[in-house]
Amino acid sequence: MAGEGARSTGRGAATAVEDVHLPSILARLDADDASVQFETVQTVRAAVEDDPAAYLPTVPKLRRLLERESLEFHEDVAYCLAELAAESSDDVAPSVEAIVEFAQGQTSEPGPETTHALRCLSHVAEGRPDAVVGHVDAIVEVLETDDPSVREHAVCTLAHVAASSAVAVRPARSHLQEHLADDHAPVRRNACLALGRGQIVEARDRLAAVAADDPDPDVRQQASWALAELPE
């Protein structure tokens, strides 16, 4: 239904996994041998979708791996953090600054790791917008990427922030309006949502045009919802 929430990649319901040897996993994430760390991250990635709660204690160690520029498996680390953020925004919220800095550093050559980092931020922003609100300018910077998936999740993050604080997304208002013309429909939809939640009244005419003419019916519906949310 229009206006219910920004769309972001999700996961199924968690199921219990009884054979998680967490102390061993935590120790191996701290290993000096990069190959041991890689294998351990692969173990976490293979299991985290089914039992994310069991792996929440790995968040600080995964964050430290993400901060290592020379690491060759950032994609796997970022994926794990995104899945863990979907499970518990509270546990990942303290790592937001590091995740934002990582995403900023990837925008010139974005890849799957950048998408996962922004997906992680969107999950945190949904549950703990206060942890993301101070990073709106940095997220706007990420919007300049050519990768539509990164833009989708960046705008998704701003939409979640706007749900908590309309004022917080005002620095992004011109960028959000520009992305009403994005060539990727999910970006346009999330931009409508963010503008409506953010009470960006100067977007009224552009939203009206999108509501009337956008080729995607879902985007048109979201634009109509956003228009109804704007104050007179």
Cα→Cα distances 172→33, 122, 168, 179, 223, Å:
42, 16, 9, 11, 17
Would you say how long the chain is, in residues? Answer: 232
- With CA atoms as reference, report the closest residue to 158 among 141, 182, 146: 141
Per-residue model confidence as pLDDT tens digits over 59-100: 999 999 999 998 999 999 999 999 999 999 999 999 999 999
Domains of the chain and CATH, by start: 22-229 (1.25.10.10)
Per-residue model confidence as pLDDT tens digits over 107-156: 878 899 999 999 999 999 999 999 999 999 999 999 989 999 999 999 99
Residues 6+ apart with CB under 8 A from 75: 111, 112, 113, 116
Residue 14 has pLDDT above 60, yes or no: no
pLDDT at position 10 is 39
The pair of three-digit structure tokens given for residue 181, joined into one six-digit string: 């013309």
Does residue 30 contact residue 61 with C-beta atoms inside 8 Å? yes
188 — phi, psi (to 5°)? -60, -40
